[in-house]
Amino acid sequence: MNDGGPAFPRAGGVFETGQDGMSLRDFYAGLFGASMAASEKSCQEIAERAREEGVRPTHMLVIAAFNFAEAMIAERALRLARERAKP
């Protein structure tokens, strides 16, 4: 699975080692999850869907967040490929 690479890579210096940090997928999922949790309407919709599916609302939020993140990374890859293919 393409996780988008590191979200905030940091190159190593003379006295420190490099650090990849979280993946872009995790970063996108976190942003989406936080924005959905901050919306009362979204929380109500997630809770309703969770009842229908028989799972906890937080589980539904996580599923939606990672689906969103994976879609963002896939679209990003397509756009980068199109840009590279331009003459």
SS3 sequence, 16-72?
Answer: CCCECCCEHHHHHHHHHHHHHHCCHHHHHHHHHHHHHHCCCHHHHHHHHHHHHHHHH
Over range 55-64, report the average pLDDT: 91
Supply 31's token pair.
């942003």
pLDDT: is 1 or 45 the higher one?
45
Return the pLDDT at 26: 92
What pLDDT was estimated at residue 16? 65
The DSSP letter of residue 12 is -
How confident is the model over 64-81, as pLDDT tens digits? Answer: 999 999 999 999 999 999
Which of 87, 31, 41, 15 lies closest to 64, judged by CA?
31
5-45 pLDDT tens trace: 888 777 766 666 656 678 899 999 999 999 988 989 988 99
What is the chain's alpha carbon radius of gyration, rounded to the nearest angstrom?
A: 17
- Contacts of residue 77, defined as CB under 8 A and 6 or more positions apart, other chains included, come to 2
Q: What is the pLDDT of residue 4?
A: 84
